[in-house]
Amino acid sequence: MLNNFWEKLSQPFFALAPMEDVTDTVFREIVLSVADPVKLKLLFTEFTSVDGLCHPKGREAVIHRLLVNNSERELLNSGNIKLVVQIWGTDPEKFYSASRYISDHYDFDGIDINMGCPVAKIVKQGGCSALIGQNELVSDIIQATREGSGLPVSVKTRTGIKEHTTEQWVAFLLETGISAIILHARTQRMMSEKPAEWDQVKLAVDIRNQINPAIKLIGNGDVRNISHGLELMSETGADGAMVGRGIFADPWFFSSQVKDRRIDKNLDLLKSHIISFGNTWGNSKNFSLLKRFFKIYISGFDGAAAFRAQLMESLNTSEAVDLIEQFKSIDF
């Protein structure tokens, strides 16, 4: 396999999780702009349907998920940080075609197959976490993806459907030729409502060590901060920790400047996010998508809720930026 970056990743490391309508090129760039590249080594795209990529009209609807801004690419290169594209579906032939298309047209470092999303509409289609335990189909999907490109292939998954089947499921995945397993320490039924059970990550690591120690194993679920992530990796033996919802509590999650930041730094970061969103997407994406991010930057200080409510009424990037500048002029 060509240029398998997984083999060169030094442990322990952190990764930013793929999140729908969140981890586009704009948000990834914002995270990268304040991240310490010693801490953050790996990012993922939003998950992209192989059905969409393999259909001319469908491709138009999903291709934005694969966009990498030049400015994001510069940050990735300067920090030697890897970017992995995540895909999902059920048809091995489409996985082959989609991975070939990705390999031919984009500059990603790897391909990840989503076998973990528990959302009902996806599960009903037989995709993502519904693939857990479907060993023959999963084997065909992984093989097709590997054959379709020269990129290393990983799988992001969960510990089971209704109950933990970590031992059997991980043991099977370790024999498929993938380069890494990202294990969300919850079952499909647990969604994201119950606490992640990292003892299952430890079990997976123990199995990995017995079957194929060369395969990287990354734990995912309820990582509160860098110290907590390092503690979880130490306790379980995981090579890395993936951060999802934790980034919503702190956009500086991976930064070395956390203790030094002030309200105006968060406001400047939000302003950069809004401007980049407008420059990148123009009118092709609804401005309201940005509003889910406002609480990330505006919380924890007097007047935060009122200002956030005011920002939620803005109709475009210009209005939002003006409101930020007005708020910054207040002596707080």
Reported as a single tens digit per residue, the pLDDT across 3-42 is: 899 999 989 999 999 999 999 999 999 999 999 999 999 9
Strands 216-220 and 13-16: unpaired
pTM score, two decimals? 0.95
Average pLDDT over residues 171-198: 96
**Integer distance in angstroms from the first to the last C-alpha of the chain?**
55
Query: Please, which residues bridge with residue 216 across strands?
Result: 180
**Active-site residue 128, yes or no?**
no
The one-letter amino acid at 18:
P
Q: What is the pLDDT of residue 258?
A: 54
pLDDT digit string (tens) for 277-287?
999 999 899 99
Q: Which residues contact 35 (CB under 8 A, 6 or more apart)?
A: 79, 254, 255
Contact 70, 63 (CB under 8 A): no
Calculate what percentage of the chain has a pLDDT beyond 90. Answer: 89
Q: What is the pLDDT of residue 1?
A: 45
Q: What is the pLDDT of residue 332?
A: 52
Exposed (0-12), middle (13-18) or buried (19+): which is 214, by Cβ within 10 Å? exposed
Give the pLDDT band (50/70/90) at residue 249.
Answer: confident
Catalytic residue of the set 42, 66, 117, 138: 117
Give the pLDDT band (50/70/90) at residue 89.
Answer: very high
Residue 260 reports pLDDT greater than 70: no
Residue 46 reports pLDDT greater than 80: yes
Nearest C-alpha neighbor of 185 from the set 211, 156, 206, 145 = 156
Average pLDDT over residues 191-210: 96
Give the pLDDT band (50/70/90) at residue 107.
Answer: very high
Give the pLDDT band (50/70/90) at residue 264.
Answer: confident
